Amino acid sequence: MKRYIPENIFVERSIRQSPIVENVLKQLPQISVEEIDTVEAKLEEARIWNPGVPRAKKSLVLARFKGKFLKACPGQQSRGNSKNVCCDYFVINFAGNCHMECSYCYLQNYLNFPYLIVYANTDDLFEELNTAITGSPQRSFRVGTGELADSLALDPLTAYSRPLVNFFAGLENAVLELKTKSDHIENLLDLDHRGKTVIAWSVNPEFIQHSEEHKTATMEERLAAAEKCADAGYPIAFHFDPIIHYPEWRTDYRALVQRLFEAVSPENVAWISLGGLRMNPGQKALIRERFPKSIVPLGELIPAEDGKLRYVKPIRVEMYRRLLESIEEFGSGTRVYACMERPEVWQKAFGRVPASDLELGESLVQIF
């Protein structure tokens, strides 16, 4: 997979000496750099200019994050308005937006900042993480970086993964997950990770990757990278999310499961998640506008209890059951969970419902 090369770089003056900034500028000496006072100025510029999504992604902004880096995942944040089962996950918002172009990506109508942005104040990040995680030794933290950006898509430029992995290697009660659709793992292979970082890939059959996941690594590239990370001792995870319903889905997803466990032995897989396609109602029109050949808007999608468009429950249950059967066939004993699903769907597909979000989260990190 080709690495991302921006057309221009904007750097907030307050973080100009950050190691992340130095990494980027060292990798891209040929790209023009403009120092800015605040990232808010770029946001105001975007409101006036109103660049299209592809055009905006050609600018990379390196800035200071002024809020809290560590947050509960959206599933936890929406518990008051939703009855979905959550896996007690936490996220680090270290960056925003993605240069890859997945037709179904919710970021295209979620973020109000159109440019790619990386938050370079790592001293503040690690101080916050240390306070939050070591300050709660009685609980376990499963922390990911892939909510508002791909965890590794920009890593050839930023090398952000290296201090993150090193930091989590020293924690007793936390595990880091780096989730990606890239194959950019070069910065990971020589680290003393101590088994406390899980390298995870979002996966879909080749048909979906080619038709819906534009500018991403191919499935074979992702699995080759997963195999290298497993050889380097990292636990591996896979996320079938979003699972997309189309005529050949049964045979294609079964073949993909078989291929996953040919690349990575079941004992090296920390967990697998399953999540059916879901989107905000306004996203359907945006997909049709930006990706007119996409099959995503053609599915039998209806408004669900959480306000999102989802496949009807019988379709979701069948997709989960089929994938569970394939995972048990080729990777017996692998931990599998559903992402942001209703208890009744859990019961019909998995034959059980977790006793609580905390119980589900603890079951996933108990191997660490």
User: What integer pLDDT is reported at residue 79 of this predicted model?
Assistant: 46
Q: What is the pLDDT of residues 74-108, one digit of tens each?
A: 766 444 445 889 899 999 999 999 999 999 999 88
Query: 8-365: which CATH number, 3.50.50.60, 3.40.1160.10, 3.80.30.30, 3.60.15.10?
Result: 3.80.30.30
User: What integer pLDDT is reported at residue 51 of this predicted model?
Assistant: 62
Name the 3-class secondary structure at 120.
coil
Domains of the chain: which residue ranges?
8-365
Mean pLDDT calculated for residue range 184-212:
98
The mean pLDDT of the chain is: 93
Strands 197-202 and 174-180: parallel
Answer yes or no: are the C-beta atoms of 260 and 334 closer than 8 Å: no
pLDDT of residue 309 exceeding 70, the answer is yes
pLDDT of residue 214 exceeding 80, the answer is yes
- Greater confidence (74 vs 273) lies with 273
pLDDT of residue 114 exceeding 70, the answer is yes
Answer yes or no: are the C-beta atoms of 324 and 336 closer than 8 Å: yes
85 φ, ψ (degrees, to nearest 5):
-75, 135
Token couple for 13: 């003056």
Beta strand segments in 64-156, E? 70-72, 90-92, 95-96, 101-102, 116-119, 141-144
User: What integer pLDDT is reported at residue 80 of this predicted model?
Assistant: 47
Mean pLDDT calculated for residue range 113-121:
91
- Closest by CA to 275, choosing from 245, 255, 235, 246, is 245
Name the 3-class secondary structure at 134.
helix
Q: pTM for this structure?
A: 0.95
User: What integer pLDDT is reported at residue 50 of this predicted model?
Assistant: 64
Mean pLDDT calculated for residue range 321-349:
96
